[in-house]
Amino acid sequence: MSGHSKWATIKRKKGANDARRGKIFTRLAKEITIAARDGGGDPETNARLRTAVNNAKAQNMPNDNIDRAVKRGTGEVEGVVYEEKLFAGYYGGVAILVGAVTDNNNRTTAEVRHVFNKYNGKMVDTGSAAIYFEHKGLITLEESAADEDAVMEVVIDAGAEDVETEDGVVTVSTPREHFHAVVKALEEAGLPTESAALSYVPNNTVHVTGDEASGLVRIMNQLDDLDDTAFVAANYDIDDDEMAALQDQLG
């Protein structure tokens, strides 16, 4: 999971330095709306909604925003109609997946294609890139709140497949079908999660360095900055020292 883990580190640094908190809230609200639309507005019976609400609260999203997003999903208040889309492309030999939540597929497709073209990438059919990833659950916790051993005791019996710690963050990976059970087990144990989501995790990685590494991080940042983007995943590996230098460039 080195590529995914290192990108997650960059995302945390970006989030800490990003003054546009509204963009983070918009992404969270979209996920809440879709979860409520597809599974109902009660977090107790809708595991996806419960996870989305917990993620929003972890980011200090106001309760009023959360309530409005739920009501948009259940149709209690009017709102735009969202659909989830998955795009794919390559930067050199690295496969990239872009998940989006959009109310205008043509606009979003054009924006994603523009970034790939601008940064010398190439959009491809989703299936030709998705084969390099597994769709599984990833849950993160701050090590200061729960160390790896404490987390391991809770999640293994719930169906988790791995627990690892890097840069002060404990990451739990789960098969897709056990994701919500593991999240619930952590909730019931009183262990606060930083994030929890079904993610595309690479099943093998391509080592990149130098200009290729810098260019890859640049294109992933630009894709992530698109208004409709929900996540970006890529099957790369970058040496720790070089990744640290790239993180400093984000400044």
Q: Give the class (CATH, top level) of 133-202.
A: alpha beta
Euclidean distance between CA atoms 69 and 143, whole angstroms: 31
Assign 3-state DSSP to the chain and report helix, strand, coil percentages, each to 5.
50, 25, 25
pLDDT tens digits for range 109-119: 999 999 999 99
pLDDT tens digits for range 240-251: 888 878 777 754
* 177-182 average pLDDT score: 95
Return the pLDDT at 1: 42
Look at residue 163 and tell me whether its pLDDT is greater than 50: yes
Return the pLDDT at 244: 78
Choices 3.50.50.60, 3.40.50.2300, 1.10.10.200, 2.70.170.10: CATH for 2-74: 1.10.10.200
CATH for the stretch 83-126+205-243 = 3.30.70.980
Return the pLDDT at 20: 60
* 150-155 average pLDDT score: 95
Please tell me if the domain spanning 2-74 has the same topology as the one spanning 83-126+205-243.
no
Euclidean distance between CA atoms 50 and 47, whole angstroms: 5
8 A C-beta contact, residue 14 and residue 221: yes
Average pLDDT score over the chain? 90
* 30-44 average pLDDT score: 96
Domain boundaries defined on the chain: 2-74, 83-126+205-243, 133-202
